[in-house]
């Protein structure tokens, strides 16, 4: 069930009505939300509900066992059990085919003729998101940051809460679980803010992302040779498509939560305004980057054991971060690329203070130049991410840097104009958000501006909104 479908609108109307009817009984609200969340997830494939349930039950009981454990050994046994079982489920459904085919290819490369067993494993939607969310709970209990809950339905709701179940944000138990365990307050302001976030999220998804997909998809599905100008447009289109697709989903999730009195974390904070890789990862998919930092980078040692170990830890974290996105070498390379960017930035950072200072105005210009350069480094990463194979990535890279052509055999139609048209309002609003340092700047702006922008958005959605329920990109991760 996708947020941008009529089916979901009907589902939501029923859920909200029941939620309001049960407003004085939060336990009953929780139960209703749990049932609704399972229906929401089961709408994709009811068989995968068992995986969600198994993951929930294991983590629930293991967390209690960890908390009640008489000694460190028992605690360790249960944390290994819970983390291990989650990773086994995730590994089997997401990475089994990838590892088998990669291993087979490697063995064949060395002359050992091995044929891979054929297993058609269907990837359960959102498995990476809820597995990480559920794991964060037991890890926090293990690290004594959180007391385990003794109510299975409440915990199950924390894992499966439908607004953020299939594509995040990956909420921490320390943030979301306490909200599940106490009555929520639904306010008029929460309803308005939530509705605004849903509207803006839908605009990002249905107007921007889905229309940019129509520009990017044909370029990436074409075969070589590529014209540099086409690749450039394709990459720019994809850069904004993936931002609006994912940010749109996160905003809708936050909006739905807000209406019900839940506070769901901000997942994107103007990432294309970053001037360096460290800042980018503080702004892009914040829930995943902080998860990786807290549960992988820091446990590996973080930056506490010297430069070499810091670089190693960064590389491991980013490689696994890349692999989290999907069982494909292009994702691994994308992760490695961002790891390299982070390492290189750490290496050159001490030298940057020796650069001449240009005062306030000059500093602003330098900042804009940095943003421009770093945006293009991010776009290079998106080329790896979006390419259908390593071969395609290599060919496209060559067309950009070695043999750039402004004219292609497949001449451009209006793609460049449409690209500008679809991102124009987003860019204007994001610049405004950045200057005011407020993601809700439009919502809080004066009545005339707000009304005019709303009318423009309505007209744009009415005319160009893609209404056939395009899937969100991050569902496949």
Partner 1 sequence: MDRNSFISGFKTLPWCCISAVVIFLGINFALSGAKPFWRFCYLYSDPYIDDSIRLGAKFALIDKNSKKDKIFIIGASQAREDFDVDEINREIEPYNMEVFNLGISAGQPIDMVMLKDKFLSYKPKAFIYVTYLGDFYTKFKYTKMKYYFNPAILPYFAKNMGYRVFVENFPHFVDSFLSMPSVIYKYREPLKRIIDTRIKYFLKKETRAAPLQFKYDRSLSKLYFMREILLYRQTQKSYFDEAPATGFNMLMFDKFIGEMIGSGQDMTVLKAPTHPLFKLTYNPVHNAPFEGFLKEEHSKYGYDYLDFDAMKIFNQEDFIDFVHLNVDGRAKLTRIVKKVLETKRS
Kindly report the number of other CB atoms within 10 A of residue 80's CB atom.
Answer: 11
Q: Which of 13, 364, 458, 471 binds partner 1 (CB under 8 A)?
A: 458
| Closest among 318, 377, 378 to 343, alpha carbons compared | 318
Interface size with partner 1, residues (CB under 8 A): 17
As measured in angstroms, the least distance from the Cβ of 420 to partner 1 is 12
255: left (phi over 0), alpha (psi -120 to 50) or beta: alpha
What part of residues 373-432 is at the interface with partner 1 (CB under 8 A)?
Answer: 413-414, 417
* Piece of the chain touching partner 1 by CB under 8 A; list 51-59, 254-262, 282-290, 447-455: 447-455
Distance of CA 348 to the CA centre of its chain: 29
What is the Cβ-side half-sphere exposure of residue 319, based on CA atoms within 13 angstroms?
A: 7
175 in active site: no
Structure tokens at 85: 């079982």
As measured in angstroms, the least distance from the Cβ of 24 to partner 1 is 20
Contact 250, 265 (CB under 8 A): no
Widest CA span in the chain: 72
Measured from the CB atom, is 192 or 406 closer to partner 1?
A: 192
As measured in angstroms, the least distance from the Cβ of 363 to partner 1 is 36
Classified as helix, coil or strand, 109 is helix
Measured from the CB atom, is 444 or 476 closer to partner 1?
A: 444
Structure tokens at 113: 């003729």
As measured in angstroms, the least distance from the Cβ of 202 to partner 1 is 14
Question: Please, what is the Cα angle at 10 between 4 and 11, to 5 degrees?
Answer: 90
Cis check for the bond before 458: say yes or no (omega within 30 of 0): no
Q: Which of 347, 428, 431, 459 binds partner 1 (CB under 8 A)?
A: 459
Measured from the CB atom, is 95 or 454 closer to partner 1?
A: 454
Torsion of Cα atoms, 464 then 469 then 470 then 473, to 10°:
120
As measured in angstroms, the least distance from the Cβ of 415 to partner 1 is 11
* Piece of the chain touching partner 1 by CB under 8 A; list 337-345, 395-403, 430-438, 451-459: 451-459
DSSP letter at 164? Answer: G
What part of residues 176-215 is at the interface with partner 1 (CB under 8 A)?
Answer: 188, 192, 195
As measured in angstroms, the least distance from the Cβ of 442 to partner 1 is 10
Measured from the CB atom, is 20 or 458 closer to partner 1?
A: 458
Distances in whole angstroms, Cα of residue 457 to Cα of each of 212, 348, 461? 16, 43, 6
Q: Which x/- pattern, by CB under 8 A, does the window 276-315 give for partner 1?
A: ----------------------------------------
23-39 burial, b for 16+ CB within 10 Å, e for fewer?
eeebeebbbbbbebbbb
As measured in angstroms, the least distance from the Cβ of 464 to partner 1 is 7
Classified as helix, coil or strand, 124 is coil
Report how far residue 15's alpha carbon sits from residue 8's, in angstroms, rounded to the nearest whole number: 10
Q: Which of 99, 462, 471, 476 binds partner 1 (CB under 8 A)?
A: 462
Report how far residue 347's alpha carbon sits from residue 341's, in angstroms, rounded to the nearest whole number: 10
Q: Which of 25, 105, 455, 476 binds partner 1 (CB under 8 A)?
A: 455
Measured from the CB atom, is 10 or 107 closer to partner 1?
A: 10
Report how far residue 232's alpha carbon sits from residue 219's, in angstroms, rounded to the nearest whole number: 10
Q: Which x/- pattern, by CB under 8 A, does the window 143-182 give for partner 1?
A: ----------------------------------------
Indicate whether 454 belongs to the interface with partner 1 (CB under 8 A).
yes
Measured from the CB atom, is 53 or 418 closer to partner 1?
A: 418
Pick the catalytic residue from 109, 325, 338, 376: 325
As measured in angstroms, the least distance from the Cβ of 44 to partner 1 is 19
Q: Which of 305, 451, 471, 476 binds partner 1 (CB under 8 A)?
A: 451
Contact 269, 279 (CB under 8 A): no
Structure tokens at 149: 């809950």
Report how far residue 383's alpha carbon sits from residue 396's, in angstroms, rounded to the nearest whole number: 8
Active-site residue list: 325
Residues near partner 1, by CB under 8 A? 6, 188, 192, 195, 413-414, 417, 447, 450-451, 454-455, 458-459, 462-464
């Amino acid at each position: 069930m996708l947020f941008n479908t009529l089916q979901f609108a009907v589902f939501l109307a029923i859920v909200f009505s029941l939620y309001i009817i049960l407003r004085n009984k939060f336990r009953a609200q929780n139960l209703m939300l749990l049932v609704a969340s399972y229906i929401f997830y089961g709408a994709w494939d009811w068989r995968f509900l068992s995986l969600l349930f198994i993951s929930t039950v294991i983590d629930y009981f293991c967390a209690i066992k960890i908390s009640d454990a008489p000694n460190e050994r028992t605690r360790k046994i249960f944390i290994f059990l819970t983390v291990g079982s989650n990773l086994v489920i995730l590994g089997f459904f997401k990475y089994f085919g990838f590892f088998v085919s990669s291993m087979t290819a490697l063995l064949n490369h060395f002359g050992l003729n091995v044929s891979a067993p054929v297993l058609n494993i269907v990837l359960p939607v959102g498995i990476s998101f809820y597995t990480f969310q559920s794991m964060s709970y037991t890890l926090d209990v293990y690290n004594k940051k959180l007391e385990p809950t003794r109510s299975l339905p409440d915990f199950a709701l924390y894992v499966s809460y439908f607004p953020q179940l299939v594509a995040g944000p990956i909420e921490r138990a320390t943030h979301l679980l306490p909200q599940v365990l106490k009555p929520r307050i639904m306010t008029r302001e929460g309803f308005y803010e939530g509705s605004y976030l849903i509207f803006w999220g839908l605009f990002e998804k249905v107007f921007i992302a889905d229309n940019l997909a129509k520009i990017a998809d044909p370029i990436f599905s074409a075969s070589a040779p590529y014209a540099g100008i086409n690749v450039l447009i394709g990459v720019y289109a994809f850069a904004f498509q993936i931002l609006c697709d994912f940010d749109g989903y996160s905003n809708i999730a936050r909006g739905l939560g807000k209406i019900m009195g839940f506070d769901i974390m901000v997942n994107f904070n103007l990432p294309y305004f970053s001037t360096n890789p460290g800042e980018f990862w503080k702004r892009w998919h914040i829930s995943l980057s902080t998860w990786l930092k807290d549960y992988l980078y820091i446990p590996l040692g973080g930056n506490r054991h010297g430069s070499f170990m810091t670089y190693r830890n960064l590389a491991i974290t980013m490689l696994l971060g890349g692999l989290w996105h999907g069982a494909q070498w292009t994702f691994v390379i994308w992760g490695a690329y961002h790891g390299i960017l982070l390492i290189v930035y750490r290496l050159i950072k001490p030298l940057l203070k020796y650069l001449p200072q240009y005062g306030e105005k000059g500093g602003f210009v330098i900042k804009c130049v940095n943003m421009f350069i770093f945006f293009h480094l991010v776009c290079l990463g998106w080329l790896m991410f979006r390419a259908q194979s390593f071969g395609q990535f290599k060919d496209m890279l060559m067309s950009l840097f070695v043999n750039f052509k402004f004219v292609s055999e497949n001449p451009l139609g209006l793609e460049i104009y449409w690209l500008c048209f679809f991102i124009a309002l987003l860019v204007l609003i994001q610049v405004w958000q950045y200057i005011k340092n407020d993601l809700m700047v439009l919502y809080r702006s004066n009545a005339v501006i707000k009304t005019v922008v709303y009318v423009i958005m309505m007209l744009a959605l009415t005319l160009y909104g893609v209404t056939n329920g395009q899937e969100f990109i991050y569902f496949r991760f």
